[in-house]
Structure 1
Amino acid sequence: MVKQARINQLVDPNSFNPIGQVEGVFAGFGSINGNTVCVFATDGGGIGQRQGQIIAQTIQMATKAGIPIIGLWDSSGILVEEGISGLEGYGQIVQSLTQASGIVPRIMGLLGSSIGTAALIPPLVDYLVAVRGLSKTYCNTPHVTKNLTGEILDVESMANADVQEQILATAHVVTDNESLCFQTIRDLVTYLPSNHLSEAQKVDAMPRIEKFDGQDINDTEQVVRFISDQGSFMPIQYNYGKSMLIGFSRIAGQTIGIVANQSNVNDGLLEIQGVGKAVRFIRFCNAFNIPIVSLVNSQGILPGVSQELGGISKQVAKLVHAYSESTIPKITIISGKALGSSLLAMGSKWVGADLVYAWPKAEIAPANLEAMVSLLYYNQLTSDEDPAKFREEKLDTHREEFATPKGALLKGYIDQVISPEETAIAINNGLYLLQGKRVAKLNRKSSNIPL
């Protein structure tokens, strides 16, 4: 059976124990690198009442046991011949996945089609790994779409794995084949705790790059790899919202979540897609006790009509909400520019950062220095006999305050100026300090993030 063979490829050898089986669904529990997980797999057919029941019971078992739930998903929708009972099966899956949210990690490999009602399931999980040439997701068939709208839905080009990652943002990682999909899921499990009450296991730390020699601070991925244990950075949604870099990494063997401005894409300016993925990632890390390390190098919010009409203000509001409500350890490194809204929104002390460090050449200011001088001295610049000389004088006056981290340090906006080579040690020491962090919160049912 394909579904059983897939499960056996995913879990450790001889570790799988079946706990539920019916035509089209196989479920049970096993281990991944010694970590116990619950797994279910489907074979591409429809889901009915009994199939949905087995999947839901497996998810509920994972939730009860406090272990990750992993789905290997391939479904053509509901079993039409069952009528409403087929929808009942999906209802059970949806409810159990929702109730597991924030309790145990929910991971899925999309190993085929996800059509009709089945398309509702992958977006519900925490991490979806799609496979090029296999993964396809759409709610209405090409035939229905053409009959009702006259539009052509080309499944191969409009519903494939890359579309799911780069446009729909439902896929978090895309691989070239099933084997890489399974390996990605196995790797991901090692970064995560089993549940919301536990912490990710520490691993033996790999050596780091010792010298920040010649690396470009505007290539944030280089910076992340420099401060992390060697080979430990695992990017998430790498090809969506590229001005923001997110993913899991390790420092001294401890899992951390990375949220970073990717400054070689749109100068790292905050934009709708990048901010959106960062918000979801921060909330996941907060749910599962994973410290956040923020790397700041941005001049603010990306200007443009499409950004304004697309709701960039609401997206950045979500970002400050996510940082402000999170109670995990939060450490921020300002490696380059931290100007305007990016200074506030990217893990500043004002939104709850525990420790904020800056590199010696960091620029920390409410706006670009040139723009600030133009605004502050508009009247003088328009009336002075030598406006160019006047501008340079004022730039020199404010450069010490804003173009270096000295002013921010004196005002308490940052805690210390450190060299690039000291960064990993500073983060590790900070994590040690904050390992017992506790935050007293007002009693409430839930916050209301501006979705």
Structure 2
Amino acid sequence: MRSFSRKRLMAANQNPSGIQRTPHAAGDPAWAEQQHAKGRLTAHERLELLLDAGTCTPLGMGVTQETRQETREGAHNSEGVLTAQGEINGRPVCVFVKDMAVRDAAVNEAHARKICRLQEFALESRMPLIGLFDSAGASLEAGMGAVAGYGAMYRNSAAASGVIPQVGLVLGGCPGAEALLPALFDFVFMANDDSSLFVSGPDVVQAITHQTVDAVQLGGAEIHASRSGIADGRTDHDVAAILQLRRFLAFLPSGNRAGAPTWPCLDDAARLAPVLDTLLPDAAEGSYDVRELITQVADEGDFFELQAAYAANIVTGFARMHGRVVGVVANQAATLAGVIDSDAARKAARFVQFCDAFGIAVVTFVDTPGYLPGVAQEQAGLARHAAKLVFAYAQATVPMVTVIVRRALGAAGIAMGSRALGADVVLAWPQARIGLMDARAALALEGQRGDAAAEQAYAQRVLSPEAVQAGGDVHAVIAPRETRQHVLAALDRLAGKPHKRALRSHGNIPL
């Protein structure tokens, strides 16, 4: 990859077509009115809201109304996208914002080159890259120039993967080849009821499959937030999305060697959480919301959940513990009793991989009775997807602290950050049951029909945390109210954990 200094980058983005331009920071008033009528901001307004006041350094200029008319008639140029370097909460970032006011933000060779140079600059400077998407896709007039441009952007995104965070925000259309770029990013958020992301549009779908759908039904924010899992979150409008993005960036490091961000902590590290003593229901299979546990342990209850509407039987997100950012993975007993299915395994595996790539410790709260049984799951490749979760934990070198809340049974219990997979510290609540299967199933397998007393005796003898602790798979049995204290103490001890990796190009994760 070629090296670009900031000065060279700015010069390369100035007037590549030779058309006379004037600065146009505010945008066209008529276009702004149209956007505001739809509840949206203009590209310039989006950029201004995203970056800290006074920190934006444009890496390309706006256009006048005359130039915009000329570009709509087919002149090839790199407009239709704003690129800038600025700060978010005082931290440097690189940003590109698609500008539908200019040729519908259609991508041609020069447009793509502008983004490519920004990608290269962000990677060289170790700054997070943020992309705001709202485009008609590829420019038909550009032909192979657009094809080559997309390929170059994809390659740059792959090169930056695991080195700098890449975050996409879809605020409008993101069709065809355009859709693959945010899908390559680490995180994608969507906003507005009519935003969409798809590879094949409604017309193509109708022509090939004879199904009639609109863009939102095909790839709207709700679809990707709850069914495909492409969107890590969704909001109702531009302003909420951009403010959410600013908050989210505070959880991410600037690069893979920057270390997890720290934040001033006003919460007591020794704080007890008595409410956790009664979190688990009396019934062995009763449900509860694991997010209550997470917020009780996190600093000031602050937890940024990702993909909340997708694979809700597992919870992922970022929290701070004594000022340090940590990644949290937790089985959600309130949904499908906390079993792990294909979607949940993929969701958690990808999140653990991100944390490991960027040096963020992983805290896992375990309460799962096993994998979701069924013909559909097995035929959909449950074993392969479950292996992704195993692989992600097994290859992770960051500090890993696991708390077994209630059930860690079978292969699913192994996959959830077990000691056998490399967890540094494994803690367990007194009620925990850890083993191959629950007491009832074990007794039945042995040909016994045990009553409640027999099951309880078996569980205490074989599955209790005290029994498992003797084998070294649990380090300590803790009172629920002391969970925060023990997790923070473990993270403190692991703060200097060395990152040892095998000498290889990369592992072959079961994709």
What TM-score, normalized to structure 2?
0.84
Cα gap change, 1:400/1:140 in structure 2, threshold over 3 Å: closer, same or farther?
A: closer
Question: Pick from 132, 155, 158: which aligns with 2:215?
Answer: 155
Of 202-211 and 222-231, more deviation after overlay is shown by: 202-211
Conserved 8 A contact 1:114-1:137: yes
2-side partners of 1:282 and 1:448: how far apart? 16
2-side partners of 1:79 and 1:40: how far apart? 18
2-side partners of 1:314 and 1:212: how far apart? 40
Deviation string 1:80-139 (CA, Å, 9 cap, x unpaired) is: 111111112212211111111001000111111011111111211111110032421122
Conserved 8 A contact 1:340-1:366: yes
Question: Pick from 27, 48, 53: which aligns with 2:83?
Answer: 27
Deviation of the 1:142 alpha carbon: 2.0
* Equivalence for 1:3: 43
* Equivalence for 1:384: none
Q: Which amino acid aligns with 2:279?
A: D
Of 150-159 and 288-297, more deviation after overlay is shown by: 150-159
* Equivalence for 2:66: none
Unaligned runs of 5+ in 1: 382-386
* DSSP 3-state at the match of 1:80: coil
Deviation of the 1:366 alpha carbon: 1.2
* DSSP 3-state at the match of 2:397: coil
Conserved 8 A contact 1:29-1:39: yes
Deviation of the 1:342 alpha carbon: 2.2
Q: Which amino acid aligns with 2:144?
A: I
* Equivalence for 1:99: 159
Q: Which amino acid aligns with 1:241?
A: A
Of 396-405 and 149-158, more deviation after overlay is shown by: 396-405
Higher strand fraction (1 or 2): 1
Q: Which amino acid aligns with 2:349?
A: V
Q: Which amino acid aligns with 1:151?
A: Q
Deviation string 1:353-398 (CA, Å, 9 cap, x unpaired) is: 000000111111210110001112x1xx4xxxxx56xx56643542
Conserved 8 A contact 2:352-2:392: yes
Deviation string 1:214-256 (CA, Å, 9 cap, x unpaired) is: 7534311111111111232000000000100000001111100
In the TM superposition, 1:315-354 aligns within 5 A as: 315-354=385-424
2-side partners of 1:414 and 1:396: how far apart? 20
Deviation of the 1:77 alpha carbon: 1.2
Q: Which amino acid aligns with 1:80?
A: L
* DSSP 3-state at the match of 1:213: helix
Conserved 8 A contact 1:243-1:268: yes
* DSSP 3-state at the match of 1:76: coil
Cα gap change, 1:149/1:400 in structure 2, threshold over 3 Å: closer, same or farther?
A: closer
1-side partners of 2:406 and 2:344: how far apart? 18
* Equivalence for 1:181: 241
* Equivalence for 1:313: 383
- Does residue 416 (structure 1) correspond to residue 472 (structure 2)? The answer is no
- Report the aligned-residue RMSD: 1.6
Question: Pick from 239, 258, 263: which aligns with 1:198?
Answer: 258
Q: Which amino acid aligns with 2:320?
A: R
Percent identical among aligned pairs is 31
Question: Pick from 82, 85, 97: which aligns with 1:41?
Answer: 97
* DSSP 3-state at the match of 1:59: helix
Deviation string 1:137-173 (CA, Å, 9 cap, x unpaired) is: 1222322222222121222323210101111111101
* DSSP 3-state at the match of 2:299: coil
In the TM superposition, 1:202-351 aligns within 5 A as: 202-207=262-267, 210-213=272-275, 216-217=279-280, 218-351=288-421
4+ long deviations beyond 4 Å: 391-394
Conserved 8 A contact 1:122-1:170: no
Q: Which amino acid aligns with 1:237?
A: Q
Question: Pick from 174, 189, 196: which aligns with 1:129?
Answer: 189
* DSSP 3-state at the match of 1:184: helix
Deviation of the 1:403 alpha carbon: 4.5
Unaligned runs of 5+ in 2: 1-26, 28-41, 62-77, 281-287
1-side partners of 2:79 and 2:453: how far apart? 78
Q: Which amino acid aligns with 1:288?
A: F
- Does residue 12 (structure 1) correspond to residue 38 (structure 2)? The answer is no
1-side partners of 2:462 and 2:325: how far apart? 34
1-side partners of 2:219 and 2:263: how far apart? 38
2-side partners of 1:309 and 1:86: how far apart? 39
How many residues end up aligned between the 2 structures? 441
What TM-score, normalized to structure 1?
0.94
1-side partners of 2:452 and 2:244: how far apart? 53
2-side partners of 1:76 and 1:421: how far apart? 53
Q: Which amino acid aligns with 1:30?
A: G
* DSSP 3-state at the match of 2:207: helix
2-side partners of 1:293 and 1:211: how far apart? 17
* Equivalence for 2:36: none
1-side partners of 2:325 and 2:147: how far apart? 39
Question: Pick from 414, 429, 439: which aligns with 1:369?
Answer: 439
2-side partners of 1:324 and 1:275: how far apart? 14
2-side partners of 1:352 and 1:306: how far apart? 31
Conserved 8 A contact 1:43-1:74: yes
Question: Pick from 74, 99, 103: which aligns with 2:134?
Answer: 74
2-side partners of 1:440 and 1:140: how far apart? 43
Conserved 8 A contact 1:48-1:88: no
2-side partners of 1:142 and 1:201: how far apart? 42
2-side partners of 1:101 and 1:439: how far apart? 19
* Equivalence for 1:143: 203
Q: Which amino acid aligns with 2:93?
A: V
Deviation of the 1:20 alpha carbon: 2.9
